[in-house]
Amino acid sequence: MAKVWMQSLGNCSVDEAGKRVTYGPAQWFQCGKHDARQFIASGSAKFANQRDQASVLDLADCGIVIGMHLFPLLETLRRDHKLPTTTHEEDAAFPFPYTRTLFLDMNATLNPRLVPVGFEHLDSGWQVAIPTCGGELLAESVGSDQDREATLSVVRNLSVPLLDTRAIFMARCNGTRQLLVEWTHEKSVVRFGDPRLAFLRAYYRVQPVTCHLPAERWME
Amino acid sequence: MNGVLYVAYGARARRAATAAIASLWQWNDIPVAVISDKLGAVNVPDVQTIQFPEQDASDLSDVALSRWAKVNMDRLSPWHHALYLDADTRVRGDILQPFRSIEDGFDMAICASGYQGNDAYQHVGDVERAMTLQMLTAPLQYQAGVVYFSRERCKPLFRAWRKRWLEFRGQDQAALSRAMEDEHPRVWLLGRNYNGPAGSLIEHAFGKARAL
């Protein structure tokens, strides 16, 4: 398997000829692509060069759909991962221009190091990858009475955690297309409703194959 | 038809399961089966006992047997839609509602673990934990002590869970995470009031029953 060069930013352990070798800060080492992705996700190493980065993080078919043009996280993602972006007008139908898309809200606090990992989840068979809301925020705790009633009529139980709709990874397929259509529709059902409740209703109806992501790790 | 499954190997687990069933029936009218190595494992009327394994498995500890039984629940459940409850859970209210999510098409309804990120899989052996974290990149860790599931739709997941559990024969939770990465089930996430140390619907002692 092809190996790539990395520079350790902390302590990185890799298998070399059957032995576990640990590299300290600033040391250079070679590792496989899976290990490289793990080191990048944990922030414990960086790529030695752009070519190796491109070979490990295959983001050629990925992009970001955003609600607003400029905010710090987006700048980081553009700089570090060279991802194309498309804007989305509030209340309009969602565009779906990329094979794998990150739908990103202006006030999202997504850990930028994990963005390639989110796209990778879509590559491994999940249709959707989405963080939970921190502190296990339940559907019964948000929204107006009307919004909660609309949600209860669909999902039947409001003692369920909300998903953080500020950052959603989606693979382009019939299921996610339907999910976006349903979500847009549900947002129109309750005027000024909570988008997370609208998403929960759409999610329950469509039931996409979803990789849940822990807020503790994914949101900063 | 829906029903509740417990797994009880050893005298302590059988005592815990007996108390767990009493708490379940205080609030819910639903049939119960206990998977155990002994017929009549719990002394409670109207509880079905499912003997497993049928052949002698005296070389396995009670804990190992209980985990092997758990990852075989798709083969053992008498019901299409089942709720698995750890024997150290105590039910505090009506817990039948999540069956609706299974009837509506989800494969499984389950809670997130209270331990995520760097705290995930702390109860799992070092080698298995390292392998699991190496294989999976930052997904949610689920808590497998309370699991609503469709017996038919979850068959591929249980097959994968058995295979993954046999890799280490230790805890079942990390094996479930790896199996989920293999099979990608449709999961409906429940709040921790369905599975937590202070769960208002299902209170879970998280292994303290074994220490009693």
User: Taking Cα atoms as reference points, which of A185, A120, A93, A159 lies closest to residue B181?
Assistant: A120
Would you state the pLDDT for residue B56? 61
User: A209, B97: Cβ pair inside 8 Å?
Assistant: no
Q: Which of B33, B166, B158 minimizes the C-alpha distance to B87?
A: B33
Within an 8 Å CB–CB cutoff, is residue A217 touching chain B? yes
List phi, psi (to 5°) of B33: -130, 145
pLDDT in tens, A54-68: 888 888 889 888 765
Per-residue confidence band for A155, with pLDDT thresholds at 50, 70 and 90 = very high
pLDDT of residue B209: 45
A-chain residues within 8 Å CB-CB of B201?
159
Indicate the residue among A34, A56, A78 that finishes a domain: A56
Mark whether A22 and A121 lie in a shared domain. Answer: no
| Geometric angle at alpha carbon B159, from B157 and B163, rounded to 5° | 115
Say yes or no: A18 and A100 in one domain. Answer: no
pTM of the model: 0.88
pLDDT, mean of residues A28-32? 92
* Contacts A216 to B, Cβ<8 Å: 116-117
What is the mean pLDDT for each group of 10 consecutive residues in chain B (212 residues)? Answer: 95 94 97 92 92 74 91 97 97 97 98 86 84 81 96 98 94 93 96 94 79 38
User: Which of A124, A126, A161 is opposite residue B189, by nearest beta carbon?
Assistant: A161
Residues of A with CB below 8 A from B112's CB? Answer: 132, 136, 161, 212, 214
Same domain, A47 and A103: no
CATH topology of domain B2-211: Spore Coat Polysaccharide Biosynthesis Protein SpsA; Chain A (3.90.550)
Residue B127 CA, chain-centre distance (Å), reads 23
pLDDT in the model for residue A107? 80
CA atoms within 13 A on the CB side of A148: 12
Average pLDDT over residues A40-67: 83
Q: Which residues of B touch A (CB under 8 A)?
A: 97-98, 100-101, 104-106, 112, 116-117, 120, 133-134, 137-141, 181, 184-194, 201
Same domain, A26 and A70: no
| Per-residue confidence (pLDDT) for residue A68, from 0 to 100 | 58
Closest Cα in chain A, distance from residue B212 (Å)? 31
Retrieve residue B113's tokens: 């673990």
Structure tokens at B69: 């039984």
Distance from CA of A190 to the nearest CA of B (A): 23
Tens digits of residue pLDDT in A84-109: 878 777 666 778 889 999 998 878 88
My answer on whether A30 and A112 are in the same domain is no
Identify the domain containing residue A51 by its residue range. 4-56
Contact B112 A210 (CB under 8 A): no
Out of A26, A41, A56, pick the residue that ends a domain: A56
Residue A1 pLDDT > 70, yes or no?
Answer: no
Interface with B, mutate which of A40, A121, A152, A163 (most B CBs under 10 A) = A121
Q: How confident is the model at residue A73 (pLDDT cuts 50, 70, 90)?
A: confident
Verify whether the Cβ–Cβ distance A213 to B104 is below 8 Å: no
φ, ψ of residue A85 in degrees (nearest 5): -130, 150
User: Chain A partners of B179 at a C-beta cutoff of 8 Å?
Assistant: none
Q: What are A157-206's pLDDT values in tens digits?
A: 999 999 999 999 999 999 999 999 999 999 999 988 999 999 999 999 99
Same domain, A119 and A182: yes
Q: Are residues A24 and A87 in the same domain?
A: no
For residues A105 and A200, membership in a common domain is answered with yes
Give A-chain residues touching B138 at CB under 8 angstroms: 41, 114, 117, 213-214, 217-218
pLDDT of the residue at A199: 97
Domain boundary among A36, A56, A76: A56
Provide the domain count of chain A. Answer: 2
When pLDDT is cut at 50, 70 and 90, the band that residue A20 belongs to is confident
- Say what the pLDDT of residue B211 is: 40
The position carrying tokens 């949101």 is A219
Residue A149: give its domain's CATH number.
Answer: 3.90.550
Residue B163's pLDDT is: 96
State the DSSP H helix or E strand holding residue B12, giving kind and residue range, or none if neither: helix B11-27
